Chains A and B, each alone.
Chain A
Amino acid sequence: MHPSLPPTFPGATPLVVRLLVAALALGVALAGGRAWRATRRACLGALAVGAALLLLDDAVGAVLSHGQLAFQGTGWLIASALVQAAGLSLLAWGAGHAGQAENSTWLLGWLTIASCAFGLLLGVLPSIAWQLLGARAPGEPAPQPEWTLLLGLGCTAALLSSLRHRALARSGHALQERVHELGAAQEQSQQRETALQQQYEQAAQGRRQQQDSVEQLARRAANLQAVLQSSLSLNRRQELGQVLEAVVESAHERLGQPRVLLRLYNSRTHLFEARAFAGLPENEVRELRNRDVTMEDFLSAARAGAGLGGCAVVDPWAPPPPSSSPLGWRAGRQLVVPIRGDDGAVLGYLGVDEPNGVQVPAAETAELLEALASQAAIAIQNAQLHGQLERKNLEVSMANEKLRDLNRLKSNFVATVSHELRTPLTSIKAYSDTLQAALDDMEPQTVREFVSVISAESERLTGVIDDILDVSRLESGRAPMVKESFNFSALCQEAGVRMDAQFKAKGLRLRLECPPSEVVLSADRSAIEQLLVNLLDNALKFTPEGGEVRLHLEEEVSLARLVVEDSGIGIPEEEMERIFDRFYQVDGSTTRAYGGQGLGLAICRDIVEWHDGRIWVERAGGRGTRFVVLLPRKELVIHSNREDSSDVSERMQREEFLQLLTTLTAELMGTRIASIMLVDPASDALRIEAAVGLEEEVVHGARLRKGEGIAGRVWSEGRSILVHDLRGDARFAGRMNDVQYSTRSLLSAPLRRGTHVFGVVNVNNKINGQVFDEDDRLLLEALGERLVKAFDSLEAYRVGHHRLVAARSALRAILDVSRDRWSSLRELVARSGLDAARRLGMHEDDLRALAYVLKTYDLGLARVGEQILRKISPLSAEDRERINDHVRAGAELATEVEPLAKVRQILYHHHENVDGSGYPDGLAGEAIPVGARLVRLTDVFGALLHDRPFRRALSLDEAVALIREGVGRRFCPRVSSAFLAAVEGKRREFHTALTVLGGRSATAAPSTASALPGAPTPPSGPPVPAGTGGGAS
Chain B
Amino acid sequence: MATPGVLIVEDEQPLARVLAYAFNNEGYRVELASDGIECMNKIATFVPDVVVMDIMMPKLDGIETMKLLRQNQLQRDLVIVALSARSSRSDRETALAAGANIFMKKPFAIARLMESVEQLLASERSP
A residues near B (Cβ < 8 Å) are 415, 418-419, 422-423, 425-431, 433-434, 437-438, 441, 446, 450, 453, 456-457, 588-594
If A419-B86, A450-B18 touch, whether A429 touches B11 (CB-CB below 8 Å) is no
Taking a contact as CB atoms under 8 Å apart, the answer to whether B111 and A437 are in contact is yes
Q: Chain B contacts of A425 at CB under 8 A?
A: 106-107
**What are 16 residue pairs bridging A and B, where the CB atoms are less than 8 Å apart in the complex?**
A418-B85, A419-B56, A423-B12, A426-B85, A426-B106, A427-B12, A429-B107, A430-B15, A434-B21, A588-B86, A589-B57, A590-B58, A592-B56, A592-B57, A592-B58, A593-B11
B25 at the interface (CB under 8 A from A): yes
B31 at the interface (CB under 8 A from A): no
B110 at the interface (CB under 8 A from A): yes
Taking a contact as CB atoms under 8 Å apart, the answer to whether A422 and B85 are in contact is yes
A210 to chain B, nearest CB (A): 89
Taking a contact as CB atoms under 8 Å apart, the answer to whether B107 and A430 are in contact is yes
Q: Chain A contacts of B22 at CB under 8 A?
A: 430, 434
Q: Chain B contacts of A591 at CB under 8 A?
A: 56
B77 to chain A, nearest CB (A): 27
The residue in chain A whose Cβ has the minimal distance to the Cβ of B62 is A589
Taking a contact as CB atoms under 8 Å apart, the answer to whether A593 and B57 are in contact is yes
Q: Chain A contacts of B35 at CB under 8 A?
A: 593
B101 to chain A, nearest CB (A): 20
Contact of A456 among B14, B56, B85, B88 (CB under 8 A): B14
Q: Chain A contacts of B111 at CB under 8 A?
A: 433, 437
Top-5 shortest CB links A-B = A592-B56, A593-B58, A422-B85, A426-B106, A429-B107
Taking a contact as CB atoms under 8 Å apart, the answer to whether B14 and A431 are in contact is yes
A568 to chain B, nearest CB (A): 12
If A415-B88, A434-B21, A592-B57 touch, whether A427 touches B110 (CB-CB below 8 Å) is no
B109 at the interface (CB under 8 A from A): yes
Taking a contact as CB atoms under 8 Å apart, the answer to whether B109 and A427 are in contact is no
Q: Chain A contacts of B108 at CB under 8 A?
A: 426, 429-430
Q: Chain A contacts of B86 at CB under 8 A?
A: 415, 418-419, 588
Taking a contact as CB atoms under 8 Å apart, the answer to whether B58 and A423 are in contact is no
B76 at the interface (CB under 8 A from A): no
Number of A-B contacts (CB under 8 A): 78
A336–B15 Cα distance when bound, in Å, is 83
Contact of B109 among A422, A433, A592 (CB under 8 A): A433
A437–B88 Cα distance when bound, in Å, is 29
Taking a contact as CB atoms under 8 Å apart, the answer to whether A589 and B56 are in contact is yes
A422-B106, A430-B15, A589-B58 known; 4 other A-B pairs, CB under 8 Å?
A426-B15, A434-B22, A592-B54, A593-B56
A425–B108 Cα distance when bound, in Å, is 9
A781–B11 Cα distance when bound, in Å, is 63
The residue in chain B whose Cβ has the minimal distance to the Cβ of A591 is B56
B125 at the interface (CB under 8 A from A): no
A948–B47 Cα distance when bound, in Å, is 51
Q: What does DSSP make chain B's interface, helix, strand, loop or mixed?
A: loop
Q: Chain A contacts of B85 at CB under 8 A?
A: 418-419, 422-423, 426, 592
Taking a contact as CB atoms under 8 Å apart, the answer to whether A592 and B21 are in contact is no
B19 at the interface (CB under 8 A from A): yes
Taking a contact as CB atoms under 8 Å apart, the answer to whether B57 and A430 are in contact is no
The residue in chain B whose Cβ has the minimal distance to the Cβ of A431 is B18
- CB within 8 Å of A: which B1-54 residues: 11-12, 14-15, 17-19, 21-22, 25, 35, 54
If A450-B18, A456-B14 touch, whether A422 touches B107 (CB-CB below 8 Å) is yes
A433–B25 Cα distance when bound, in Å, is 13
A594–B12 Cα distance when bound, in Å, is 10
Taking a contact as CB atoms under 8 Å apart, the answer to whether B107 and A428 are in contact is yes
Taking a contact as CB atoms under 8 Å apart, the answer to whether A438 and B12 are in contact is no
Q: Chain B contacts of A423 at CB under 8 A?
A: 12, 85, 106
A569 to chain B, nearest CB (A): 9
A988 to chain B, nearest CB (A): 52
B59 at the interface (CB under 8 A from A): yes
Taking a contact as CB atoms under 8 Å apart, the answer to whether B56 and A427 are in contact is no
If A430-B19, A430-B107 touch, whether A457 touches B14 (CB-CB below 8 Å) is yes
Taking a contact as CB atoms under 8 Å apart, the answer to whether B59 and A593 are in contact is yes
Query: Which of B11, B35, B110, B111 counts the most A-chain CB atoms under 10 A from its CB?
Result: B110
Taking a contact as CB atoms under 8 Å apart, the answer to whether B21 and A427 are in contact is no
A504 to chain B, nearest CB (A): 17
A426–B52 Cα distance when bound, in Å, is 14
A425–B88 Cα distance when bound, in Å, is 18
A764 to chain B, nearest CB (A): 55
A288 to chain B, nearest CB (A): 65
If A423-B12, A429-B109, A430-B110 touch, whether A453 touches B18 (CB-CB below 8 Å) is yes
A590–B57 Cα distance when bound, in Å, is 7
A425–B14 Cα distance when bound, in Å, is 11
A497–B35 Cα distance when bound, in Å, is 31
If A415-B86, A592-B56 touch, whether A434 touches B12 (CB-CB below 8 Å) is no
Taking a contact as CB atoms under 8 Å apart, the answer to whether A427 and B57 are in contact is no
The residue in chain A whose Cβ has the minimal distance to the Cβ of B60 is A589
Taking a contact as CB atoms under 8 Å apart, the answer to whether B18 and A430 are in contact is yes
A64–B65 Cα distance when bound, in Å, is 200
A428–B25 Cα distance when bound, in Å, is 19
The residue in chain A whose Cβ has the minimal distance to the Cβ of B11 is A593
Contact of B25 among A427, A438, A453, A589 (CB under 8 A): A438
Q: Chain B contacts of A446 at CB under 8 A?
A: 21
A423–B106 Cα distance when bound, in Å, is 7
A841 to chain B, nearest CB (A): 64
Binary flags per residue of B52-82, CB closer than 8 Å to A gives 1, else 0: 0011111101000000000000000000000
Query: Which of B57, B58, B109 counts the most A-chain CB atoms under 10 A from its CB?
Result: B58
B90 to chain A, nearest CB (A): 11
A842–B39 Cα distance when bound, in Å, is 73
